[in-house]
Structures are given as C-alpha cells and as structure tokens.
Amino acid sequence: MSNEKRVAVITGGASGIGRETSLIFAGKGDRVIVADYNEAGGKETVALIEKNGGEAAFIQVDVSNYESVEALVEQTVQQYGRIDVMFNNAGIGLPTPVAALDWDTYHRVINVNQHGVAHGIFAASKKMRELGTKGVIINTASVFGFLASPGSFAYHATKGAVIMMSKSAALELAQYDIRVVAVAPGVVDTPIIQGYKDLGMADEMAHKVMGGKLTQPEAVAKTVYLVSLEEAEAINGSVVMADQGYASFK
C-alpha cells in the first residue's frame, strides 16, 4: 500500500459499534468519513475524533436509498481522493414476530439491514474498481444470521443475507484485490439492545457471553480494524466472529 493515509467510510458511525470503529480507525491514523442519518450523533463522533487529534468528516446518508449511498462514496472521493475501507454497519432491530407480522416494519428492517449493505458493497466496489485501488469491504452481520431467536424474523433474515452477500461479493471481487468480510458480533452493549435491557433481559443475555459481561462496542471495533489491515489478506469471504463465544456454547 502507498504511504498515503487510508480513507475509511463507516456507516452507522453516529452510535455504538460504528462510533467506536470510527474512533479506532482515526486513532490509528486513518481518515474517517462518519456516515449516518443521525446528523447530531455523527457530528458528535467527528468532534470526539478531532478532540483526540484525528481526522474525520460527517456525511449524512440513508443507507436504504442507493442514490444516497452512491453520493456518500462520491463525496468521500471528492474530499479525500480515495476509498480504502467501506464498513457497512448501519442497522436497526425492530420486533417482527411471525404470528403478528407488520409488513411495514418487515420492509423497514430489510431495507436498512439488507439493502443498505448491498448498496454499500455495490457503490464502494464500483468506485474502488474505477480508481484501481485495493480495498476492503466489511459488513456487520450477527450471530443471529445463523442462530434463531423468537420475535426477530426480519432481523435474522437480513443478517443471514449479509453473510451470503459478503461471501458471494468476495468471490467476484477478489480479482480486483477487493476483500469482503462479514463480522458477526454477539450481544453488544449499544442503544440497539436498550429494549431488551428495559425488559430486564441484560443478565440473561450476558450469561451466554464468555466472561459474563456484555460485549463492549470497542471490542467489536477492534476486530473490524484487525480485519481491515493488509496483514489480514487471507481473511476473505469469511465470517469473523466478534461474539465472545456467544455462538459457541449453549
């Protein structure tokens, strides 16, 4: 790789895993585009990075809309001249029980978690191929992409799709030196699980995590950073677990 700083686009960068990943990449010297539809949260992430002496900018995006994701990639290249890492991480979790399925909610979850990742893979890889740069596209899956739990029909479907989209895109994009990897967290202590915490289910969830404490978002962020490095070149089309053993035992 050249000595130029890497440029990393991180969707969902306003909160949780995306914010921590933005902080880690910037702390290691990468230029970070914090992308989210939550402008206030995204700008807060940028301010945290700048306070630590890092370089970042906020771009508002709705990942469920392809034109918006394409504009994000375009603006990134206009601003920083390249794109080395695309972290398709924005996601939502809404209840979708099969027996009482609300189609609007179902489509919302699919549009953000599944189509949002497809949009990111497509727009980023198109630009990387145009620029002829090596790149890595990392997608946030979940242990719930292969483990079922009640009430989250659409969420499971999307995370299973993220795993298979990562594998098939990796297979096609390897010839362009573009890697595609899925990272699968278990249960991470971010706002997305607040509903479960409110129901008093946090202890029960932590029970399945080795060490008994919910995974912290910085731990997932560190995994994403490791996967992004050139040293991780053999990790391609893989699902990298960042779950503290959540899926490894009953």
Q: Which residues are catalytic?
A: 155
**CA 110 to CA 104: how far, in whole Å?**
10
117: exposed, middle or buried (C-beta count within 10 Å: 0-12, 13-18, 19+)? buried
Could you say whether residue 92 binds ligand NAD (CB under 6 A)?
Answer: yes
From 63, 75, 57, select the one nearest 127 (Cα to Cα). Answer: 75
Could you say whether residue 12 binds ligand NAD (CB under 6 A)?
Answer: yes
Could you say whether residue 181 binds ligand NAD (CB under 6 A)?
Answer: no
Instruction: Name the strands in the sheet holding 239-242, side by side, starting at the edge strand that comes first in the sequence.
Output: 55-60, 31-36, 7-11, 85-88, 135-140, 178-185, 239-242
CB of 132 to ligand NAD, least distance (A): 28
**CA 12 to CA 72: how far, in whole Å?**
13
Could you say whether residue 216 binds ligand NAD (CB under 6 A)?
Answer: no
Question: x/- site string to ligand NAD, residues 113 to 142, per CB under 6 A?
Answer: ---x-----------------------x-x
**CA 30 to CA 8: how far, in whole Å?**
7
Could you say whether residue 69 binds ligand NAD (CB under 6 A)?
Answer: no
Nearest to ligand NAD of 133, 223 (CB atom): 223
**CA 166 to CA 227: how far, in whole Å?**
14
What is the SS3 assignment for 239?
Answer: strand
Residues 35-64 that bind ligand NAD (CB under 6 A): 36-38, 41, 61-64
Print burial letters for 61-84: b (CB count within 10 Å at least 16), e (below 16). bbbbebebbbebbebbbeebebbb
**Of 6, 7, 15, 24, which one interacts with ligand NAD (CB under 6 A)?**
15
Choose the stretch contacting ligand NAD; rule: CB under 6 A; options: 2-10, 47-55, 95-103, 181-189.
Answer: 181-189
Could you say whether residue 191 binds ligand NAD (CB under 6 A)?
Answer: yes
**Of 34, 118, 154, 187, which one interacts with ligand NAD (CB under 6 A)?**
187
CB of 158 to ligand NAD, least distance (A): 8
- Residues near ligand NAD (CB under 6 A) are 11-12, 14-18, 36-38, 41, 61-64, 89-93, 112, 116, 140, 142, 185, 187-188, 190-193, 217
